[in-house]
Copies of this chain bind each other. A is one copy, B any other.
């Protein structure tokens, strides 16, 4: 059986990663990667569905054992992507889709260079700012921080394979689905099928 592929959707806050991620998961049989965190569960969050919840001690043991594809500390909590379930999906021929920030994407690409990185961006900075404002969760100063972070993130574009400009949502979703479909058709992902045909009489 052919191995699955690992796809990463990344990009700045406000570009629409989460929305597009959920649309693509719903439209395909791709597997989600579930993160491990030391953060306390919020009401309604289910172990193994939203996160794997671990104590900080357990988390540090997982780091020491090399069990993460990437790990990061955000507001005194740890978040990380466990290797084992992802590699098991890939070995079983399933594609896996990540929604992760640019630093996380960089770590994953380092450990798994075959990962396909899709950078999601708004067509303009004005639209990015507007989308962040529309959330009503940002103060003026946090907005400025997010916008300057977005610029640093975009400047990391050479890490990625594709860029999708999220102007009209349906178009952006269609483009991400096209990228996934095209990757499955790459020669390098079909060598075994081609060789099998060439060996037949």
Contact = CB atoms under 8 A, between A and B. Distances in A.
A153 to B, nearest CB: 11
A87 interface: no
A178 B187 contact: no
B186 A154 contact: no
A40 to B, nearest CB: 38
Contacts of A174: 181
Interface stretch (A25-33, A48-56, A97-105, A155-163): A155-163
Identical subunits present: 2
Contacts of A121: 197
Contacts of A119: 187
A190 interface: yes
Interface in A126-158: 151, 154-155, 157-158
Interface string A164-193: 110000000011011101110111001001
A186 B161 contact: yes
B181 A151 contact: no
A187 B163 contact: yes
A150 to B, nearest CB: 10
A124 B194 CA distance: 10
A73 interface: no
Given A151-B198, A197-B154, A187 B160 contact: yes
B178 A161 contact: no
A200 interface: yes
Contacts of A112: none
B154 A198 contact: yes
Contacts of A185: 118, 162-164, 175, 178-179
